[in-house]
Amino acid sequence: MAKAAPWPLDAWYVACTPDEIADRPLGRRICGKAMVFHRGKDDRPVALEDFCPHRGAPLSLGFVRDGELVCGYHGLTMGCEGRATAMPGQRVAAFPAIRAFPVLERYGFIWVWPGDPAQADPAKLHPLFWADSPDWAYGGGLYHIACDYRLMVDNLMDLTHETYVHATSIGQKEIDEAPVTTRLEGEEVVTSRFMEGIHAPPFWRMALRGAGLPENALVDRWQICRFSLPSHVMIEVGVALAGHGGYHAPADKKVSSVVVDFITPETETSHHYFWGMARSFAVGDAALTDTIREGQGKIFSEDLEMLERQQKNLLAYPDRKLLKLNIDAGGVRSRMAIDKAIAAETALAAQAK
Amino acid sequence: MAKAAPWPLDAWYVACTPDEIADRPLGRRICGKAMVFHRGKDDRPVALEDFCPHRGAPLSLGFVRDGELVCGYHGLTMGCEGRATAMPGQRVAAFPAIRAFPVLERYGFIWVWPGDPAQADPAKLHPLFWADSPDWAYGGGLYHIACDYRLMVDNLMDLTHETYVHATSIGQKEIDEAPVTTRLEGEEVVTSRFMEGIHAPPFWRMALRGAGLPENALVDRWQICRFSLPSHVMIEVGVALAGHGGYHAPADKKVSSVVVDFITPETETSHHYFWGMARSFAVGDAALTDTIREGQGKIFSEDLEMLERQQKNLLAYPDRKLLKLNIDAGGVRSRMAIDKAIAAETALAAQAK
Amino acid sequence: MAKAAPWPLDAWYVACTPDEIADRPLGRRICGKAMVFHRGKDDRPVALEDFCPHRGAPLSLGFVRDGELVCGYHGLTMGCEGRATAMPGQRVAAFPAIRAFPVLERYGFIWVWPGDPAQADPAKLHPLFWADSPDWAYGGGLYHIACDYRLMVDNLMDLTHETYVHATSIGQKEIDEAPVTTRLEGEEVVTSRFMEGIHAPPFWRMALRGAGLPENALVDRWQICRFSLPSHVMIEVGVALAGHGGYHAPADKKVSSVVVDFITPETETSHHYFWGMARSFAVGDAALTDTIREGQGKIFSEDLEMLERQQKNLLAYPDRKLLKLNIDAGGVRSRMAIDKAIAAETALAAQAK
């Protein structure tokens, strides 16, 4: 039996953002599968195998005509269900079909379901309460990172690394010193850390200033990391003026946001990292959105070299067991949830035979 | 038994153009074999293995002295038959020989025979009627392309792709709509397509203008692709003012040329593509030769990404069978001719044992 | 049984120069082992595996605090013996250790012993008489070369190549014409060549000029290449005014130097090449040191393409036996010494089981 892929297939993954398919088709490998994305007849997003059944050309090198992909090599027109609909001078009825993947557009993202289409229930999409609310603003970006997507999950479910990797922006010694708690909340793995009566690090000083609060005041700071399947990590972060209830402080005494991380596997050693920040302060300030995006992009780029070099080291020492400390509990539990989901899919597939 | 290489070996391939060996030796891998080319004592081109028998250095990093290659590492002098002729302080008589490959210079190209030297008959060279004629002018170039050379044969034996890949120069909708005919003429595979009473695409408008003909007139257009072993594709192309006999129209009513394609395998997934155009109009106009070369170079570069990405897709899906439509008949028949030639060589080799 | 690595492990190799660890840790692969170098508490150099036992991050991406490496990912502090000494919020006593390699600092280099620490006797370090002497000056550099380190040994133990590879600087026809002698001196392989009554090549003209001697005079020239384990090649080179005793001429009639080559394997097909020149003339002239370093760097860079292309050719023709001529005797004997050292280590390891 073939070794199962190291990711759940029956799940909604972020595939791309709408701007990426605004002008032309987009080719992107997701969970090991070469896909092409475009907008179909009704403007709804479509995901197909990026492989023309005629001569194997990538359909993503073609163009969209009347909502259908036209192969850029010999003009085969591919319907949105993966069956050729036309080709100059040819009858296409007997042409072999290619796979169409279930797709959704929601919350400002295009989502794809790489697994069994019969299981692709839109209700299984992870809800994002902030995405449809006028009280929240969002900005983000995309990085391609050459490491196993689970190393990114580990990274985000243990923010101790901020002290070291992001020393000049969001890191501070107190993160190390505060104990971390990991628990399950329904199907979510939640790792949280609270710091009281500390000085805010540079990023949060900027946020306090932006919200009209005193940037040099002592604050209470929180980080609540929430992992949900298949590989989303939402992190509630913020600071409140000290002594006003911290996380539960009234809105005018705190600045807070949600760090948004959608981690989409590409291959076993690479992934697409959709990062961003949703905030509930100064939501009408588009310039602030840009400033935050730029700052966050810079901070998150600091993780890249570390993660890619970690990946290389792990490939070089495949037999070496890594430590699972209390600070690693978030990543460890998240991986358990991933493994459980994969095992359930494998069992379901075996049953179906 | 080792798997046969996917190309005939007993054949003349274009190795390089004379300017490539004018100043220094040229190292080039052809049909999987690392070769070095230079001009020998009598100025005749020579092809040898690019491997110094002393310490394995590439002879192509050396220089030519009195028509013999001198290794750039320790000064071994290699004779044009592949036997060392001298080395400082050494007796070279017992040195192992390296392979010398039969070579010809003709029609403005250096040709090499990678297979059995006993079969290397100059009479087997593909005749190029236009190359020695004062009534024709030629200009061309060379691209290195990371795909199986047969994907380029397919590409050239089905010009339907012009409509899509070369939409802004030689492509036009009518190509798609005209039926294509494929037949054998002796040992040549011939695919042809005729369009009548159409508007000329931009490239041919330029040619009509250059020949003093009305560029906006309706024309008859033809494309006659001729494949011959091992992997040459000569394409007769042209337009005539409509109603004057098309391909057979008198010379003052048409502009025509031969697209010249020599496709020399490098490895199983790469080749050297010698492209050019021979024309019988305005043959004395060197500036036009340059203009055409530049235009053709740009057009042919549009095939590169498509072919290289097609190659990657085919490697990723090795078990997927591609379609063989009527428009593909030219490529399919050409591959049959290639396979037949390879089988004949294999049989001959088995017989010789 | 695993195939033995193609290098001795129980030996002192040059790992780096002090300036490379002045400001930050240095990651470098040596004899196939990923190592990180830094200065410890007492300022003594330390070599550890470049692998954090927590999550496999490379320690070389971290920083040094009070002489201990701090992992740049989650702050594990690694002691100089390879045992974690601290980590925020963790007890580290049970953490698995990483390897610490014996290190020495001497003669202006950091040396590492990749093999059995019990054998790592400082007395086994190759003595460099010129390094601690006020009568000598030294300048050098480092190249990374993508070839088996033994191809560099071959290169340096046969200077015939100077005539071809370094034709414009130190090469001259007379090198080819002078016979070469190879002998063992204790554990050193010594290859020497003497030329009498010749014109000096450009490099030595510069040196004569620098020493106040007539650059156009006839000279006697010598090259004495000394290989010692594991892979050091010291080459005594110089010219004396003709008829004054050559190598043995009085100091005011000659210019001479030692070409210094430490060849440290990285992988089976790459190495770190520490090159330099020690000279006993104009030792106080720092500008001359720079001029020589620049000139030597340029000359030695001429070997790179040849060696890397030779490596590729040898990988492409693994079954082809290379010649072992008299000029190759230096390299051949050096490789015999290397093989003997590896065999002795293998025998010792078998005995220890």
Q: What is the mean pLDDT of residues B61-82?
A: 96
User: What does the mean pLDDT of chain B come to?
Assistant: 94
| Intra-chain end-to-end CA distance of chain B, in Å | 13
Question: For position A165, what pLDDT does the model report?
Answer: 83
Element at A163 (helix H, strand E): helix A162-165
Asked whether C220 and C197 are in contact (CB, 8 A), the reply is yes
Q: What is the mean pLDDT of residues A153-162?
A: 91
Asked whether A45 and A105 are in contact (CB, 8 A), the reply is yes
Asked whether B10 and B125 are in contact (CB, 8 A), the reply is no
Chain C contacts of B58, Cβ < 8 Å?
A: 309-310, 313
Top residue of C30, C55, C70 to mutate, by most chain A CBs within 10 Å, is C55
Prior bond of B230 cis (ω within 30°): yes
B268 Cβ contact list (under 8 Å, min separation 6)? B5, B6, B32, B148
Q: How many whole angstroms separate alpha carbon A123 and alpha carbon C263?
A: 63
Say whether C322 and B73 touch across the interface (CB within 8 A): no
- For residues C293-330, one letter each, b for 16 or more C-beta atoms within 10 angstroms of the residue's C-beta and e for the rest, the string is bebbbebbebbeebbbbbbebbeeeeeeebbebebbbb
Chain B residues within 8 angstroms (CB to CB) of chain A: 154, 158, 160-161, 163-165, 176-177, 179-180, 305-306, 309-310, 313-314, 316-317, 320, 322-323, 325-328
Asked whether A190 and A180 are in contact (CB, 8 A), the reply is no
Query: Is A63 exposed, middle or buried, given 0-12, 13-18 or 19+ CB atoms closer than 10 A?
Result: middle
pLDDT above 60: residue C1: no
Of B306, B317, B323, the CB nearest to A73: B306
Confidence band, pLDDT 50/70/90 cuts, at residue B226: very high
Share of chain B above pLDDT 90, in %: 79
Q: What residue of C is the nearest CA neighbor of A308?
A: C57
Give all domains of chain A, ordered by start, each with its CATH number.
13-124 (2.102.10.10), 137-345 (3.90.380.10)
pLDDT above 90: residue C307: yes
Confidence band, pLDDT 50/70/90 cuts, at residue C2: low
Q: How many whole angstroms separate alpha carbon C347 and alpha carbon C350?
A: 5
Q: What is the mean pLDDT of residues A133-147?
A: 96
Task: Tell me how crowded residue B297 is: count the other CB atoms within 10 A of its CB.
Answer: 16
Say whether A316 and C90 touch across the interface (CB within 8 A): no
Q: What residue of C is the nearest CA neighbor of B55?
A: C322
Q: How many whole angstroms separate alpha carbon A327 and alpha carbon A178?
A: 11
Question: For position B89, what pLDDT does the model report?
Answer: 85
C272 Cβ contact list (under 8 Å, min separation 6)? C14, C28, C30, C142, C143, C144, C145, C263, C264, C266
Query: What is chain C's length?
Result: 353
The dihedrals phi and psi of B77, each to the nearest 5 degrees, come to: -100, 125
Q: What confidence tens digit (pLDDT) does each residue in C198-207 have? A: 999 998 998 8
Which residue type is seen at B110? I
Q: What is the mean pLDDT of residues C173-191?
A: 90
Question: For position A170, what pLDDT does the model report?
Answer: 84
Say whether C176 and B88 touch across the interface (CB within 8 A): yes
Highest average pLDDT, of A202-206, A274-278, C346-350, comes from A274-278
Question: For position A2, what pLDDT does the model report?
Answer: 59
Chain B contacts of C317, Cβ < 8 Å?
A: 51, 56
Q: What confidence tens digit (pLDDT) does each residue in B120-177 have? A: 999 999 999 899 999 999 999 999 999 999 999 999 998 888 888 888 888 888 888 8
Distances (CA, A) of C333 to C91, C183, C205: 54, 9, 33
Question: For position B331, what pLDDT does the model report?
Answer: 95
Asked whether A306 and A165 are in contact (CB, 8 A), the reply is yes
Say whether A310 and C95 touch across the interface (CB within 8 A): no
Q: How many whole angstroms separate alpha carbon C286 and alpha carbon C291?
A: 9
Q: What confidence tens digit (pLDDT) does each residue in A258-297 have? A: 999 999 999 999 999 999 999 988 889 999 899 889 989 9
DSSP line for A318-349: TTPPPP--GGGHHHHHHHHHHHHHHHHHHHHH
| Site of tokens 């358990």 | A336
Could you tell me the two tokens for B177?
């709509």
Confidence band, pLDDT 50/70/90 cuts, at residue B1: very low
Task: Tell me how crowded residue C17 is: count the other CB atoms within 10 A of its CB.
Answer: 17
Chain C contacts of A163, Cβ < 8 Å?
A: 75, 88
Q: What is the mean pLDDT of residues B174-189?
A: 90
Say whether A61 and B322 touch across the interface (CB within 8 A): no
Top residue of B317, B325, B335 to mutate, by most chain A CBs within 10 Å, is B325
pLDDT above 90: residue A194: yes
Q: How many whole angstroms separate alpha carbon B75 and alpha carbon B89?
A: 10
Distances (CA, A) of C136 to A194, C73, C241, C248: 63, 45, 21, 18
| Site of tokens 């193609």 | C6
Confidence band, pLDDT 50/70/90 cuts, at residue A1: very low
ipTM: 0.91
Q: What confidence tens digit (pLDDT) does each residue in C117-155 have? A: 999 999 999 999 899 999 999 999 999 999 999 999 999
Question: For position C197, what pLDDT does the model report?
Answer: 95
Q: How many whole angstroms separate alpha carbon A214 and alpha carbon A195?
A: 18
User: What does the mean pLDDT of chain A come to?
Assistant: 94
Q: How many whole angstroms separate alpha carbon B215 and alpha carbon B341?
A: 44
Chain A contacts of C70, Cβ < 8 Å?
A: 164
Q: How many whole angstroms separate alpha carbon A207 and alpha carbon A167?
A: 17
Query: Is A223 exposed, middle or buried, given 0-12, 13-18 or 19+ CB atoms closer than 10 A?
Result: buried
Q: What is the mean pLDDT of residues C172-193?
A: 90
C120 Cβ contact list (under 8 Å, min separation 6)? C10, C12, C102, C113
Q: What is the mean pLDDT of residues C316-326?
A: 90
Q: How many whole angstroms separate alpha carbon B238 and alpha carbon B230?
A: 25
Q: What residue of B is the nearest CA neighbor of A87?
A: B176
Distance from the Cα of C62 to chain A's closest Cα (Å) equals: 8
Chain A residues within 8 angstroms (CB to CB) of chain B: 34, 50-51, 53-58, 61-62, 70-75, 87-90, 95-96
Taking alpha carbons only, the member of A2, A72, A66 closest to residue A38 is A66
Share of chain A above pLDDT 90, in %: 79
Say whether A51 and B158 touch across the interface (CB within 8 A): no
For B282, left (φ over 0), alpha (ψ -120 to 50), or beta? left
Taking alpha carbons only, the member of C73, C53, C54 closest to residue C63 is C73
Q: How many whole angstroms separate alpha carbon A246 and alpha carbon C143?
A: 56
Chain C residues within 8 angstroms (CB to CB) of chain B: 154, 158, 160-161, 163-165, 176-177, 179-180, 305-306, 309-310, 313-314, 316-317, 320, 322-323, 325-328
Could you tell me the two tokens for B11?
């054949």
Q: How many whole angstroms separate alpha carbon A209 and alpha carbon A223?
A: 20
pLDDT above 90: residue A349: no
Question: For position A179, what pLDDT does the model report?
Answer: 87
Distances (CA, A) of B73 to B90, C160, C167, C207: 15, 8, 11, 25
Q: How many whole angstroms separate alpha carbon A310 and alpha carbon A317?
A: 11
